[in-house]
Amino acid sequence: MALETALLLLLALGLGLAGAQKALEEVPVQRGFDVHKVEGRWLTLQLAASRAELVSPSDPLRLALHSIRTSDSGDVDFVLFWKGEGACQEESITVHPTQLQGQYQGSFEGSSMHVRFVSTDYSNLILYVRFEDDEVTSLWVLLARRMLEDPTWLGRYLEYVEKFQLQRAPVFNIDDVAQRRSVARPSCTARRSWKSSRSPAS
């Protein structure tokens, strides 16, 4: 019985990894991607996650991407702010280029991290971020240079939300004025809060 249980666990793990890899292969990448053109300030318009507990109304994922930086070596730095207890803490995450254009990898708090620049015209950007440890967590983000949703880009993003059965999350952006006054702890403003953690499309 113990052997059967172990075999079942190994089978379940194998199927889970195979499914995760299949999902990763289904994520597209922008053709002709130029990483240096995505440098600068970005605003988060939409955020969705593969795990419902990350977007619970009582304990939402309070994440704000402020800007993207690049280096001569090809590395990409994401400048993030995590909201908690009335203030924000800055976090910079660096990912490194792979041999595939528009795809990057790194690590964050013990998890391996994969990033794909799914689609962009450099004024709008759909970003895919994947964390892998004991389980796989995927984040999909719609970004723009201005706080104005382009219907075409919103529709394209929501197609991915439906396809990958994601949970839409509250969105936070930081106040640039507050950031200039106190870089370490700027205030955060919530753009919208979803009453339900379930996507209307799921």
The CB density around residue 184, as the number of other CB atoms within 10 Å, is 9
Rounded Cα distance, 90 and 65, in Å: 10
Q: What is the pLDDT of residues 130-188, one digit of tens each?
A: 998 888 889 999 999 998 889 999 999 999 999 999 988 878 787 654 444 444 444 54
DSSP three-state, residue 58? coil
d(C-alpha 42, C-alpha 76), whole Å: 14
At residue 101, the pLDDT reads 92
Higher pLDDT pick, 114 / 178? 114
Instruction: Tell me how crowded residue 129 is: count the other CB atoms within 10 A of its CB.
Output: 21
| pLDDT at residue 114 greater than cutoff 80 | yes
Q: How far apart are CA 79 and CA 65, in angstroms?
A: 6
Higher pLDDT, 63 or 64: 64
What mean pLDDT, rounded, does the chain reach?
Answer: 76
Q: Choose between 153 and 189: higher pLDDT.
A: 153
> Residue 61: is its pLDDT beyond 60?
no
Selection from 27, 29, 28, 34 nearest residue 122 by Cα: 34
